[in-house]
Amino acid sequence: MSRDSFYGNKLQKMVYQNGLDQIVKKPTWATQISATIIDLIITDNKNIQHKVHMTPKISDHCILSVHIGRVNKSRNSEKIYERSFKNYNKFTIQEQLRGTPWNNDEVDVNNLAALYTKSITHILDESCPMIEFEIPVKYLSNKWINQDIINRIKIRDTTYKRAVFTGDDVE
């Protein structure tokens, strides 16, 4: 990834803004007069094991290999995180938002957006903290279960809980 080109700089900025790193440092394409990194490994793990293989050449690019590690197949569940609305109070959150000092001397829009996001997230973390759930892997490994089915299961469960709580009949 060339740092002296417009698109190279743009890609590098986008990678770093998202907390990622491009870990290939050796050129992956070379001619008699130049060498360039055009094959990339973009990751959030700086210590990932990788190698640029200079030979044998199958194409005009070098071959990259990455050691990702072993998948632990003995896990019985997958952890997910969601907000707990158990103690949710709309008025408390509104009061906290009103009490937040929004006037700031910052003129950069990106910094203001980051500041506002951080403030709102902090207020939500206090009122509706993140909680951890474990979903059995047997449900995650079924190929026939897709996101649409998962969403419909959530709607079914929410409707049932609402009916039990209110005493209304469920159709």
- Residue 29 CB burial class (10 angstroms; 0-12, 13-18, ≥19): middle
**pLDDT in the model for residue 12:** 84
Surface-to-core class of residue 62, CB atoms within 10 Å of its CB (0-12 exposed, 13-18 middle, 19+ buried): buried
Report CA-CA distances (Å) from 18 to 14, 45, 85, 119: 6, 13, 28, 19
Q: Give the three-state DSSP class for 142.
A: coil
Per DSSP, 32 falls in state S
Helix (H, G, I), strand (E, B) or coil at 141: coil
d(CA 135, CA 154): 13
Domain boundaries of the chain, sorted by first residue: 6-67, 71-137, 141-171
Residue 39 contacts residue 62 (beta carbons within 8 Å): yes
The model scores a pTM over 0.75: no
User: Quick one: pLDDT at residue 69?
Assistant: 62
Helices (H) and strands (E) in the chain, counts: 5, 8
Give the type of residue at 9. N
- The mean pLDDT values, 10 residues at a time, for the chain of 171 residues are 74 82 83 81 80 68 72 62 80 87 76 82 86 69 71 84 74 55
